[in-house]
Structure 1
Amino acid sequence: MESILDLKNFNVTYVNKHKSVYAVKDISFKIHKGDSLGIVGESGSGKSTLAMALLRLLPERSTKISGVAEFIGRDLTKLSEEELKKIRWNELSVVFQKSMNSLSPVHRIGTQVEDIYKVHHPKATKKEIFDRISSLLELVNLSGRVYNLYPHELSGGMLQRVSIAISLIHNPKLLVMDEATTALDVVTQGQILDEVLKMEKDLDMTRIMITHDMSVVATSCNKVAIMYAGELMEIGYVKDVLKEPLHPYTKGLLSSFPSLKGDKLKLEGIGGFLPDLSKLYDGCVFAPRCKYATDKCRRDKPAKLEMKDGRNLSCHLYGGEE
Structure 2
Amino acid sequence: MPILEVRNLSVTYTTKNRRIAAVQGVSLEIEERDAVGIVGESGSGKSTLAMAMLRLLPKNGAEVGGEVLLNGTDLLALPEDKLSKLRWKELAVVFQKSMNSLSPVHRIGAQMADVYRLHESSASKREAKRRIVELLEMVNLPERVYKLYPHELSGGMMQRVAIALSLMHHPRLLILDEATTALDVVTQGQILEEMMELERKLGITRLMITHDMSVVATSCNKVVVMYAGQVVEAGLVKDVLTKPAHPYTQGLLRSIPSFDGEKSNIRGIPGSIPALDVPLAGCAFAERCEFAADSCRTSKPQLAELPDRRQVACHLRGGEIHAQ
Give the alignment's TM-score, normalised by structure 2: 0.96
Quote the residue 2:82 is aligned against: 83
Quote the residue 1:203 is aligned against: 202
Deviations 1:258-298 (A, max 9, x none): 12221111001100011001111110111111110111000
Distance 2:77 2:250 in 1: 37
| 1:249 paired to 2:251 | no
Distance 1:224 1:268 in 2: 22
> Once structures 1 and 2 are overlaid, which stretch shifts more, 200-209 or 80-89?
80-89
SS of the residue corresponding to residue 60 of structure 1 reads coil
Quote the residue 1:262 is aligned against: 261
Distance 2:296 2:139 in 1: 47
Match of 1:238, as an amino acid? V
Match of 1:58, as an amino acid? L
Quote the residue 2:217 is aligned against: 218
Distance 2:143 2:310 in 1: 43
Quote the residue 1:66 is aligned against: 65
* C-alpha contact (below 8 Å) 1:235/1:312 kept by paired residues: yes
Distance 1:198 1:296 in 2: 47
Residue 110 (structure 1) shift: 1.4
Residue 228 (structure 1) shift: 0.6
Distance 1:155 1:237 in 2: 35
* C-alpha contact (below 8 Å) 1:106/1:150 kept by paired residues: yes
Quote the residue 2:50 is aligned against: 51
> Once structures 1 and 2 are overlaid, which stretch shifts more, 218-227 or 130-139?
130-139
Distance 1:292 1:122 in 2: 59
Quote the residue 1:171 is aligned against: 170
Distance 2:42 2:313 in 1: 20
SS of the residue corresponding to residue 316 of structure 1 reads coil
Distance 1:265 1:136 in 2: 44
Residue 319 (structure 1) shift: 8.3
Distance 2:132 2:187 in 1: 21
SS of the residue corresponding to residue 110 of structure 2 reads helix
In structure 2, list runs of 5 or more residues that go unmatched: none
Quote the residue 2:3 is aligned against: 4
* C-alpha contact (below 8 Å) 1:303/1:319 kept by paired residues: no
Residue 320 (structure 1) shift: 9.0
Deviations 1:34-58 (A, max 9, x none): 1000000000111111111111111
Deviations 1:151-185 (A, max 9, x none): 11111000000000110000101000110111101
> Once structures 1 and 2 are overlaid, which stretch shifts more, 312-321 or 146-155?
312-321
* C-alpha contact (below 8 Å) 1:305/1:319 kept by paired residues: no
Distance 1:43 1:16 in 2: 21
Distance 2:20 2:9 in 1: 15
Distance 1:142 1:233 in 2: 39
Quote the residue 1:144 is aligned against: 143
Residue 99 (structure 1) shift: 2.6
* C-alpha contact (below 8 Å) 1:34/1:205 kept by paired residues: yes
SS of the residue corresponding to residue 64 of structure 2 reads strand
* C-alpha contact (below 8 Å) 2:312/2:318 kept by paired residues: no
Distance 1:280 1:172 in 2: 38
Matches within 5 A, 1:308-319: 308-318=307-317
Quote the residue 2:111 is aligned against: 112
* C-alpha contact (below 8 Å) 2:141/2:157 kept by paired residues: yes
Distance 2:178 2:21 in 1: 22
> Once structures 1 and 2 are overlaid, which stretch shifts more, 137-146 or 25-34?
137-146
Residue 22 (structure 1) shift: 0.8
Distance 1:100 1:203 in 2: 23
Residue 186 (structure 1) shift: 0.7
SS of the residue corresponding to residue 51 of structure 1 reads helix
Quote the residue 1:41 is aligned against: 40
> Once structures 1 and 2 are overlaid, which stretch shifts more, 303-312 or 196-205?
303-312
Match of 1:300, as an amino acid? S
Match of 2:169, as an amino acid? H
Structure 1 residues 68 and 264 mapped into 2: Cα distance closer, same or farther (>3 Å)? same
> Once structures 1 and 2 are overlaid, which stretch shifts more, 311-320 or 199-208?
311-320
* C-alpha contact (below 8 Å) 2:177/2:208 kept by paired residues: yes
SS of the residue corresponding to residue 3 of structure 2 reads strand
